[in-house]
Amino acid sequence: MTAHTHVPPTALDQAAPHDEPVVYPPTRWALAGLGAGLAGLGMMISSSMVDAVYDEKIQGDAVAINERLGDLVPQMLAFHLSAMIGAVLMVVFAAGLFRRMRASVPADSVLPLVAFSGVLITAIMLVVGTGLDTEFIFAAGSDMVVPEDAAMFNHWIGTVPWCWGLLGLSGIALFGAARHGGVPKWLGLVGLLGGGLTLLLGISPLQYMAGMTGPIGLLVIAIGFLAGDKAFRGRA
């Protein structure tokens, strides 16, 4: 008869403790922000070139405005592509920014969601701003479109996709994160100054002017995360 004895494990039998590797959120999302900022500048420039409705020589003349738009198809196509590329890249940037901030601010903070929402809604505004393009770009200058509608379309792309005001809210959220030590202080200060200006312009009746400051601010913030965010820089 064989006796079975149970020997409890000793400390020597336990696996030696080891340090878990530190995992850093990737920073490649900031490249999307850089691309979105460049696309935003492209949107601003190409949209400004579609200026038939603002030409003093034909201002108020819907027929002449429609004819002039027919000569601006390349500029309108450039506007559409840059705005849509910018919108797509902004969504990626918004998601990365949310994750980056959530990893470094108090768990119950609303700052990551505020920052995410500001970028996402700005991306939506770009999509809305291009929403009439299919209907008008290739019909401009022809009898396929009512001249008064063509003039309205020129006003639309000259204002709606320039409404970047809520992107300024994301910049201010960065300042809040910097106060918690979640992002570099200089990045928070840039967010406060640039974002504050963009938000104030967005609130004002001249809200389309936020489209001038917003892309530049986005570029600076994206470069800041790529090159100046030492705690996370270079992580895959």
Tokens representing 79? 């506007």
pLDDT value, residue 150: 95
pLDDT in tens, 155-188: 999 999 999 999 999 999 999 999 988 888 999 9
pLDDT value, residue 235: 47
Please report the DSSP string for 174-189 in residue order. HHHHHHTTSS-HHHHH
CA atoms 12, 14, 15, 18: torsion sign:
negative
pLDDT in tens, 107-124: 899 999 999 999 999 999
**8, pLDDT greater than 70:** no
- Comparing CA positions, the residue from 157, 208, 194, 175 lying closest to residue 50 is 157
Quickly state the pLDDT bin for 5 (edges 50, 70, 90).
low
pLDDT value, residue 228: 74
pLDDT in tens, 71-93: 999 999 999 999 999 999 999 99
Please report the DSSP string for 151-214 in residue order. HHHHHHHTTGGG--TTHHHHHHHHHHHHHTTSS-HHHHHHHHHHHHHHHHHHHSTTGGGHHHHH
pLDDT value, residue 232: 61
**236, pLDDT greater than 70:** no
**221, pLDDT greater than 90:** yes
Give residue 17's Cα distance to chain centre: 43
**153, pLDDT greater than 80:** yes
pTM of this structure: 0.84
pLDDT value, residue 41: 97
**233, pLDDT greater than 60:** no
d(CA 79, CA 137): 11
- Comparing CA positions, the residue from 190, 167, 191 lying closest to residue 118 is 167
pLDDT value, residue 9: 52
Percent above pLDDT 90 for the chain: 75
Average pLDDT of every residue of the chain: 88
- Comparing CA positions, the residue from 129, 130, 109, 115 lying closest to residue 199 is 115
Quickly state the pLDDT bin for 27 (edges 50, 70, 90).
confident
Mean pLDDT of 45-64: 94
Dihedrals phi, psi of 11, to nearest 5 degrees: -60, -30
More confident call, 206 vs 90: 90
pLDDT value, residue 12: 44
